[in-house]
Amino acid sequence: MISFNYENDFKLNNEPEISKWISDVIISEGCTIDEINYVFCDDDYLHKLNVEFLNHDTLTDIISFDYSVGKNIQGDIFISTERVEDNAKDFNVKFFEELYRVIVHGVLHYCGYKDKTEHDAKLMREKENHYLNQIG
């Protein structure tokens, strides 16, 4: 089950489409869905989580808590829509393109992809681009 929760004024207007897309990504990666909770929030909300749980005193666009067991995907993904908006401007892309990239980025981590090394980050970006082409 995929759920979308909101801690700010942002709201997805196409939840069923996004949910199906996320499900298709997970299935394509050979995994199954248990439960994923997306929480859309502002910078302050996500910063507090970053400090409290990760001991990072920085702004970020996404924090994910992975509770997956093997290929059974489960977790909570927090996304700052403020950060996504700023990043979209910085990268000269549309807001929703950047938002969908962040949404799929979290799921790809749950599916086993990493992004700490240059090689892993390149593979992650290729996967993101592949799945972004499928959302239309």
Residue list for the binding site for Zn(2+): 105, 109, 115
Rounded Cα gap, residues 108 and 87, in angstroms: 20
Rounded Cα gap, residues 125 and 131, in angstroms: 10
Residues annotated within the binding site are 105, 109, 115
Q: What is the CA angle 76-111-39, rounded to 5?
A: 20
**Residues sharing a CB contact under 8 Å with residue 82, sequence separation 6 or more, in sequence order:** 42, 43
> Which residue stretches of the chain are H helix?
15-28, 43-54, 81-91, 95-110, 118-135
